[in-house]
Chain A
Amino acid sequence: MHQSRFVRNITLGIENLLLHKLRSFLTMLGVVFGVGSVVAMLAVGEGASKEALSRIQKLGSNNIIINSIKSIEEEATSTQHSRMSIYGLTSLDYERIKANLPNVQKVAPAKLIRKESRVGSNTLELRIVGTTSEWFELVPRQVLAGRVFDKRDVDNFSTTVVLTEFGARKLLANKNTIGQPIKIGGDSFEVIGIVKNEQGVAGNIQIPDQQIDAYIPLSTVKKYFGDIFHKRTSGTRTLELVELHQIIVQVNNINNVESTAAGIERMLQNFHKKQDYQVSVPLALLKEAEATKRRFNIVLGSIASISLLVGGIGIMNIMLASVTERTREIGIRRAIGAKRRQIIIQFLIETVVLSTIGGIVGLVMGITIPSIITYFSEMPTVITIASILLPLFISIGIGIIFGLYPAVSAAKVDPIIALRHE
């Protein structure tokens, strides 16, 4: 019986709102736009942060990435036609990190050299990544064909190469892929596998792999290409000696990442006179991205709550006018025997119905807008359950909060005076 009365209350509320269709519609608009903008903004924010997070996760949240960089002093002297600049990470650094830090699980060194490659008439400038088999564990990518090299290949200086999907397509076009010999800088290498690759930047850290990568055992790279790299820039010719361009370190536990990074930093400081290296921690980026997301949500939330507040005040305003307009009706209901509480419920239900319908319409709008944004701008948007439920509850809440005052003032109407009201 109570439920049927509840349903009848709602029906009565809807009937009353339908008496003034335009007014009800206009009143609702505040909530519609409020909820719509909340849902849309949450979807855009969620999409942006999700993309950032997934990029960072591609770096590996347990990893520490150390890059060789030209120190500022080196940069200054090299412009003065210094013949050779020597900087960056060394094999000794690699060995020390591997041996001395307790929480380090795996280490992958990388030597990066640009070399022209050729298969028949196809040529492509590759980025040779001289590394060990650990690379494929620390930068895990799907193996599309063949295999990646292992410890034996490194130990045996084998002339094998693993290409990316892009490299394979460019170079091998319509030839057999696995086992195909390709020329890199004059030497012949055998393609043993093809892997997928990622690329781009996460935060301020370059993702370790690129589409023009060719992975060759580090020992082989040193043997065939040496450590010295010729660099030509606008007429001047400089030589660079960089033993290792990058070291990727995997830490056993996510909680030890930051302390290990600090340890590596200290160790490198001891052995390097110049600041010719840079330690990047994807986890720190991850934390930063999450903090940014939180801040973003707070800002969006406050903007949205202002628009919802405006919507709520609009509803309150109209309901107060409606109470005045319906004073006589209230008087009649009270004279017949309606209790104050029943009058409050009647008006409250009307407001809640109004704000909830507004909320639902706003929700539909808020779900449509992000997909239009994604369609036209390729900006990712994500609608979560929370971003649907939260605004819906908020719009019901707005109905209750902003409906309470008009409803209570309706119930305070004195029936004797109200019945005389014309």
Chain B
Amino acid sequence: MKWLRPWFQSALLAVGSIVFLFPLWWMVVVSLETPKRAGAAMTGQGGIALWPTDPQWGNYSEALAEMGSVPWVGFINALANSIVVTTLVVIGTVLSSSLVGFAFARLRWRGRGVLFTLMLATMMLPGQVTLIPLFLLFRGLGWIDTILPLAVPAFFGNAFFIFMYRQFILQIPESLVEAAKVDGHGWLGIWWTVILPLCRPVTAICAVFTFIGTWNDFMGPLVYLHAEEQSTLAVALNSFRNQYGGLDDVHLLMAASLVTMLPCILLFIAAQRQFVEGLARGAVKG
């Protein structure tokens, strides 16, 4: 019966993969359909083939051109905004979380344990609870309709990533830190030249998760950025809904959504090795 085990495992994984990949494939198929067939599929008046019989490649350029009120400008603006916000948030989260994680892992200071517990406790708060107080705070600072409410908080660390960095840094031998001290580095120098390069697997996880989370974030930009030229891709996708909240051009929405998702998928593939290594290491030693 032993020979059955690998077959069974492979079959189970194949079924799991199909379940997870089906929605994505369905998006691809719908994005290549004619408006009539896609609309019929959405309203349940017609089926969709699992393989597009007459792929409409032009749907993609049409979708991007129609995003926003001015052809192409809406998409380019949204793309630029998404890139700027996401880049700032990823840089901010990686730098601040690794720095704070390093301080929790290696520096001895009074109140460290209490503050660490307090920081972990903030993970229990749902985002919706802090939404209104934060909005009021940022309004008071005059930051509404700027990207500051989206980017600045990232430079103050993220509790989950701080925890991950701390656990990872605890595994780095103390003697490396001591060697760097003897070599003339202060704490900041040690963090930058020794710790951060060694935290590559955690940084990959932190960067990929933060990128995906920020790139796809709908609520933040919707609340803090009101002008159309400020909207990010996730918000701009909403322009495919009609005034009643319905979907007239579902094939275009799917095409635009796929284009929007593309950077996330490419980034994940690029960082996959580091990402999996980091997760595995966290699972064993964390």
A and B part of one assembly: no
Interface set of B (CB-CB < 8 Å, partner A): none
